[in-house]
Amino acid sequence: MKPAQPTRNEDKRLHALHDLGILDTGREDRFERIVRVAAYVSECPVVAISLIDEDRQWFKAKRGLAVNQTGRSESICGHAIHQLEPFIVEDTLNDCRFDDNPLVIGPPNIRFYAGFPFSLDSEHLLGTLCVIDHQPRKLTEACQRALLDLASIVEHELVMTQQNVIDSLTGIFNRRGFYREITNYLTDDVVIESQHTLLHFDVRQLQEVNHRYGKYAGDKVLIEFAACLTDVFDDVGWIGRLEGCEFAVLLIQQDVDAVEAQLDRFYLRLCRRLSLDRYPFVYSVGLAHFTQIDETVTLETMLLDATSNMRHYPVPTEYQGIG
C-alpha cells in the first residue's frame, strides 16, 4: 500500500480546513442533498463528502458507509487532494498503490473510486466528493461533468460557511446570509420573475418548551422547523433564520393557491416530525405577495407587509393524521 502523503502546502491547507469550524459537526441537509444526488447520478452504492484532516478523513455527509471517519494514510481521498482534476481508479486491485489497502481488501471493499476535489481558493484542497463501487467500472463523461458540478456546489456551501452566512444550529442561511442573497437577487438587473411571496415565520412558546423540557428540546424544535421549511420550500426559493425564533422564506413564481398548499404541507410535515417528542408550541406565519419588483421593494418592506398579516398554527402534542 502506498500511504497518502501530506500536500506541499499542508500547513496552510489544514489552517483553512480548521478555520471553517466544520469538522465533527452534525448532519446538515445542504450536504446530505448533494450526496443523494451524487448517488443517483453515479449509480454508486457509496458516496461521501470527505474532509482530509491531519491524521484522518472525516465524512461530513455519507451514504453506504457505516463509519464517520477512517485513517488518512489508507484513504484514497488523501491521494486525490494532490490534484485539481478528478482522481479516478477504475479497478483498485489493478493499481499497485491500492491493491493491498485495508479499505480495498476489507470494508468498505473499495473496487472503484472517483474523487472530485474541492477547495476554497483552487489551491488548498480540503477534501473530495467521492463515489465508490464494490466492482470495477467507468464513469461516462456526462456523469463526470455532473459530479464536478456537485463538487462545485460543495465548494459554494463551504464558502458560505467561511463567510459566516450559515446558521450553525439549523444549517440554513442566517440573517446576514439571507439578507445578502435576497438583496443581490432583488437588485439584479435581469430579474424577470413576475411573482414573489415573502413568508415570515415566528415560533412561539419556545421559552416554555425550554423551561419544561430543557434547551435541547427548544433546539430540537428549531432544527426540525428549519428542516421542514427546507423540505417544502427549498426548490422554489430562499430560506433563512433571521434570529432566535424567526424564519423567512422568499418564493418565486408561486401563485397564491400554490403557496397556500405549500403552507398546508409544511404544517402537516411539522406535526408528523414533532408529534413523537410532544413539544407543544405555536407558530405564526405572515405572507405578502408581490407581482412587481421595483426600486421601492426591499426585503424590509416585504417583511413589514408579511408581518401585518399573521396567522397562528398550534402544533399538537399528538399527531393523528390531521387533514
Q: What are the pLDDT digits (tens) for 68-101?
A: 999 999 999 999 999 999 999 999 999 999 999 9
pTM above 0.85, yes or no: no
CA gap 163, 52 in Å, rounded: 21
Strands 196-204 and 281-290, bridge-based pairing: antiparallel
Among 33-42, 164-173, 290-299, 303-312, which stretch is predicted with the lowest mean pLDDT? 290-299
Say what the pLDDT of residue 190 is.
Answer: 64
CA gap 81, 67 in Å, rounded: 21
Say what the pLDDT of residue 248 is.
Answer: 95
Report the 10 Å Cβ neighbour count for 144. 17
pLDDT band at 105 (very low <50, low <70, confident <90, very high): very high
What residues have CB less than 8 Å from 138, skipping those under 6 apart? 90
Q: Tell me the average pLDDT of the chain.
A: 89
* Neighbour-count burial of 196, counting CB atoms closer than 10 A to its CB (0-12 exposed, 13-18 middle, 19+ buried): buried
Higher pLDDT, 323 or 242: 242
The x, y and z cell numbers of residue 168, run together, are 450553525
What residues have CB less than 8 Å from 261, skipping those under 6 apart? none
Q: Are 108 and 70 contacting, i.e. CB atoms less than 8 angstroms apart?
A: no
pLDDT at 317 over 60: no
- Is the bond preceding residue 108 a cis peptide, omega within 30 degrees? yes
Among 15-29, 47-61, 305-319, which stretch is predicted with the lowest mean pLDDT? 305-319
User: Which among 34, 42, 65, 238 is positioned nearest to 151, based on CA atoms?
Assistant: 34
Radius of gyration of the chain (CA): 22
CA gap 273, 13 in Å, rounded: 39
pLDDT at 322 over 60: no
Strands 281-290 and 237-243, bridge-based pairing: unpaired
* Neighbour-count burial of 163, counting CB atoms closer than 10 A to its CB (0-12 exposed, 13-18 middle, 19+ buried): exposed
What letter represents residue 293's amino acid?
Answer: I
Say what the pLDDT of residue 316 is.
Answer: 61
Q: Are 182 and 249 contacting, i.e. CB atoms less than 8 angstroms apart?
A: no
pLDDT at 315 over 90: no
The fraction of the chain above a pLDDT of 70, given in percent, is 93
pLDDT at 122 over 80: no
Report the 10 Å Cβ neighbour count for 206. 21
